[in-house]
Amino acid sequence: MEWIFEPWPWYVAGPLIALIMFLLIFIGKQFGMSSNLRTMCTMCGADKKADFFAFNWKDQRWNLMVVVGAAIGGFIGAHFLSNDVSVAINPDTITKLQSLGIESAGKAYLPTELFGLGALTDIKSLAILLIGGLLIGFGARYAGGCTSGHAISGLSNLQLPSLIAVIGFFAGGLFMIHVLFPLIF
């Protein structure tokens, strides 16, 4: 059972994600995480500002339970199922990140430059996190889904719109990392 405390390989994680999608399908729901952001906006009263948010959010309570679970799962994974959370990425990737000033590469789960407590008092880190979030929320709703809704659920159902969205995800990601990162970091 020692393997459970090690990072899980892709051939374990991928099939488990498919299993999660099928569990939701067999309950009569769909696997999609970003729609919860819309639900939360409605709960905060966004329906008074735009009719996009005018829907009965209580129908989406089931998905809110899934994200509450996702947080609990993160707590369990980090605190009870891991000995060492540092991520053993490719040594070439580590060198590349160090040249960008991200020294925590290879030594942590997330870059401490962005996700350590010090980031909360650093204007640049806060701006990166906030803008990253803005793009995620805006883009996911504009595209009608995120990695779970399009790259997993949509492509599994052979949806052309999902393929277009996933091509967009990669175009945006590659542009960010290869063109914008050297300017940002």
Partner 1 sequence: MKRTLSYLFIGIFFGIVMFKSEAASWFRIYEMFNFQSFHMYGIIGSALVIGIIGIQLIKRNNVKSFYGEPIKFSPKDRGVSRYLYGGIIFGLGWALAGACPGPIYTLIGAGYLPIIVVLIGSLLGTFLYGLLRKKLPH
Question: What are the distances in angstroms from CA 33 to CA 7, 84, 109, 149?
Answer: 23, 28, 22, 7
Q: DSSP code of 16?
A: H
Report the C-alpha gap between 29 and 135 in whole angstroms.
26
For partner 1, the closer of residues 1 and 117 by Cβ is 117
For partner 1, the closer of residues 56 and 184 by Cβ is 184
DSSP secondary structure string for all residues of 70-91: HHHHHHHHHHTS-S-------H
For partner 1, the closer of residues 56 and 65 by Cβ is 65
For partner 1, the closer of residues 1 and 160 by Cβ is 160
Q: How far is the CB of 155 from partner 1 (least distance, A)?
A: 6
Q: How far is the CB of 58 from partner 1 (least distance, A)?
A: 12
Q: How far is the CB of 44 from partner 1 (least distance, A)?
A: 8
Report the C-alpha gap between 85 and 101 in whole angstroms.
21
- Say if residues 81 and 5 touch (Cβ distance below 8 Å): yes
Report the C-alpha gap between 136 and 146 in whole angstroms.
8
For partner 1, the closer of residues 1 and 139 by Cβ is 139
Q: How far is the CB of 101 from partner 1 (least distance, A)?
A: 13
Q: How far is the CB of 185 from partner 1 (least distance, A)?
A: 10
